Amino acid sequence: MEINQRKIDEIDKRILKLLTEDGRLSYADIGKQLNLSRVAVRTRVNQLIENGVIEKFTAVVNSEKVGKEVSAFFEVDCEPRALVEVAENLANNPYVASCYQMTGPSTLHMHVLVSDFTELESFINKELYALQGITRVESHILLRRFKSRSGLKL
């Protein structure tokens, strides 16, 4: 059976749903829920990994519980020639949780996690504004989270 990113069957979707709900489920536990053998589940999961459908297994950490209590989102406009360099610098910054290129005039969308507002101010002034090629920065502080995505829901 060949699985690719464009065509996965209902069993694969059910396996993915279970793994996104609890990535620690064993193949045997998944098999019991789907009426499959442990070996069949392992084979399917391995195929999903090999075909890039499952990129990695990870733990979702509550940032507040580890001292990162301020969550901020930034829209960063860049000179077109500087976009990739700015994005790579930001992606390598330990405060930056995610960084994406967005539609619009060379815009990056960035999520930053810091311990407090002093650390946020330091990040903005000493690290963000220090980068060459940035033309505009807009920031938004997260007040409350209603939903957080941790992988694609099928």
Instruction: Answer whether residue 42 is part of any domain.
Output: yes
86: exposed, middle or buried (Cβ count in 10 Å: 0-12, 13-18, 19+)? buried
Same domain, 51 and 83: no
**Whether 47 and 100 share a structural domain:** no
Among candidate residues 74, 142, 144, the one with its CA nearest the CA of residue 102: 74
**pTM of the full predicted structure?**
0.75
| pLDDT greater than 70 at residue 152 | no
| Cα dihedral 94→97→98→104 (10° resolution) | -90
Span 69-114, pLDDT tens digits: 999 999 999 999 999 999 999 999 999 999 999 887 789 999 999 9
Q: What are phi and psi of 29, to 5 degrees?
A: -65, -40
The total number of structural domains in the chain stands at 2
- Residue 69, domain member (yes or no): yes
Q: What is the pLDDT of residue 105?
A: 79
Judge if 52 and 83 occupy the same domain: no
In angstroms and rounded to an integer, the radius of gyration of the C-alpha atoms of the chain is 20
Specify the CATH number for the domain of residue 37.
1.10.10.10
pLDDT of 150 higher than 70: no
Structural domain boundaries enclosing 33: 1-60
**6 and 56 part of one domain:** yes
Residue 152 lies in a domain: no
Beta bridge partners of 114: 70
- Which pLDDT score is estimated for 3? 46
Q: If pLDDT is split at 50, 70 and 90, which confidence band does 148 have?
A: confident
Angle in degrees, CA 8, 101, 89, rounded to 5: 115
Tell me, yes or no, whether 11 and 22 share the same domain.
yes
Task: Report pLDDT for 122.
Answer: 96
Alpha-carbon dihedral sign for residues 48, 52, 53, 56: positive
More confident residue, 149 or 63: 63
Q: Using CA atoms, how far apart are residues 19 and 14, in angstroms rounded to an integer?
A: 9
Residue ending a domain, among 23, 43, 60, is: 60
